Each structure stands twice: as C-alpha cells, then as structure tokens.
Amino acid sequence: MEYVTISTLNNWKQKKNKFAAVTAYDFSFARLFSNQGIPVMLIGDSLGMTIQGHSSTLPVKIKDIEYHTRAVRKGAPHSFLLSDLPFMSYCETKQALKNTAKIIQSGANMIKIEGGKWLKKIIKELCDRSILVCGHIGLTPQSFNYLSGYKVQGKEKKDENRLIDEAFLLEEAGIKMLVVECIPSILAQKITNNLSIPVIGIGAGKNTDGQILVMQDLLGITEGKTPKFVKNFLTGSSSIQEAIKKYINEVKEGVYPNPKYSF
C-alpha cells in the first residue's frame, strides 16, 4: 500500500471514491487490515470497552491511546492513522496541545475530538500548529451520560439544524475530517454534500465519503446486543481476511450500509 495522506482522502472525496475505515488497537490486526487494503484506521477510545472491559469509553487515558497508537503504527506503516483524544483530555487549549503532541509523536496522523461550538478556539490553536484535527458530532460516546445513553441524534428538526450548524462551524474552525455517528442517513448526506472535507459515517447511512466500524463489531465478536448499523462481515466468509475484503468492497460499491443498517 502507498502512503495514505489527507490529500489522498480529499482526492477520493472529490472523485466520489468511497473508502472503508476500521478501529485498530494492536500490531497484528493493524498489519492484517493494512495487507487487505484498509486505508484509514482509528485508534479509538472504544478500546475502553473492547480491550479494557469497561462499560463506557470514559476511563480511557492518554497513555492508553499512546500505547495502542504505537502498536498500530508498527503494523500499518503506510495507513492513515486517526487517534482519539479521550474524555477530559482537551478541555482547554494548553492541555489539548500537550496531549495532542503525545499522540502525534506516537504515530498518529490526525487526532479526533468530540463536540461542537465550544471546541472552536481549541481547534484553531491546534490547526495553527499544523495539527490535523478530525471532528466528531452526532452521538458522541464521551457524552453518553449527558445524552442518557447511546441514542440516534438529529431526528428532530431543531437537532438536525444544530448538527448542520456544528458541522459548518467545525470546518470553519479548521478540521480536516468529520465523523458523524448515529444520525439519520438524509442528514448525513446533507452534511457530506455541503462540506469540502471528507466525512466518515458510522450508523449514518451510505452517502458519506467513508464508513467506519469497530473491528469487533465488523467481525461479529461483540457480546450482547449490537447497534442497528452493525453488520457481521465474518458471516459467510472463510477467513478474517475475506471478511475485511468484503467490507471494503461493499463500502466502495455503496452496498453497505443499506437501509437495513441505517436510520
């Protein structure tokens, strides 16, 4: 695989070439994903649940993201790595700059932060220092207590308008990519079509520029009830490699997520 950069992703958006992304937490899976052609990997604070066994992402620390970012970078030297800043690690500018430096030095190409208007100043300060920033709106897992759980966002007109406004505001502040999670597919399409930056969806329909899934969900090894948007690509596949290829191809062809896996 050739090096994937933010310019690569921007070109794909302009050409309407959809791309698949996945969470990764270790060397072995990162290498497997890279070898199958996954261009973008997220070292997500979802590791709090999938790796550490917590009930939410909130206990994850910067040192956890650093550790897993280093491992993933070794397994995927050419992929575009996106790493989360975990809960309460970017509440003010000085703290955000310090923690971002640790993550970028661990091998990430870009950091991801959750939230809307309140992040404007912090995003500008990061971008002024040549840091690539990804926004995250809709269902923001770090706010699950405030949101009263993991629920679809943007169903009401006022919430739809708020999310559209947040997307524009974040792009104006300087983000170079946006994740939209658990929002109606029509809303995700509006946001994607009206931003100049790549938009990655999770539970946001098929009309975003890219799709991302948690690797455990994609491979059907998540215990208990899974969200509506999750498809087990290992079903009917002879290997993990084949499942990943199937995921990549269905995203590229616009087959996944179909209405069954959308809101």
Average pLDDT over residues 44-62: 96
Q: How far, in Å, CA of 83 to CA of 61, rounded?
A: 12
Confidence band for 143, pLDDT divided at 50, 70 and 90: confident
* Catalytic status, residue 181: yes
- Which parts are annotated binding residues for Mg(2+)? 45, 84, 114
Average pLDDT over residues 210-230: 93
DSSP 155: -
When the pLDDT of each residue in the chain is averaged and rounded to a whole number, the result is: 95
Confidence band for 128, pLDDT divided at 50, 70 and 90: very high
Active site residue: 125, 160, 181, 250, which one? 181
Q: Which domains does the chain have, with CATH numbers?
A: 6-261 (3.20.20.60)
Cα–Cα distances in angstroms (integers) from residue 110 to residues 136, 178, 209, 222, in the given order: 13, 11, 17, 27
Which of 20-29, 71-80, 205-214, 217-226 is least confident? 217-226
Is 222 a residue whose pLDDT tops 90?
A: no
Q: How far, in Å, CA of 69 to CA of 55, rounded?
A: 22
Is 68 a residue whose pLDDT tops 70?
A: yes
In this prediction, residue 208 carries a pLDDT of 98
- Which parts are annotated binding residues? 45-46, 84, 112, 114
Is 129 a residue whose pLDDT tops 80?
A: yes
Is 142 a residue whose pLDDT tops 90?
A: no
Task: Pick the more confident residue, 2 or 109.
Answer: 109
- Which parts are annotated binding residues for 3-methyl-2-oxobutanoate? 45-46, 84, 112
Percent of the chain with pLDDT over 70: 98
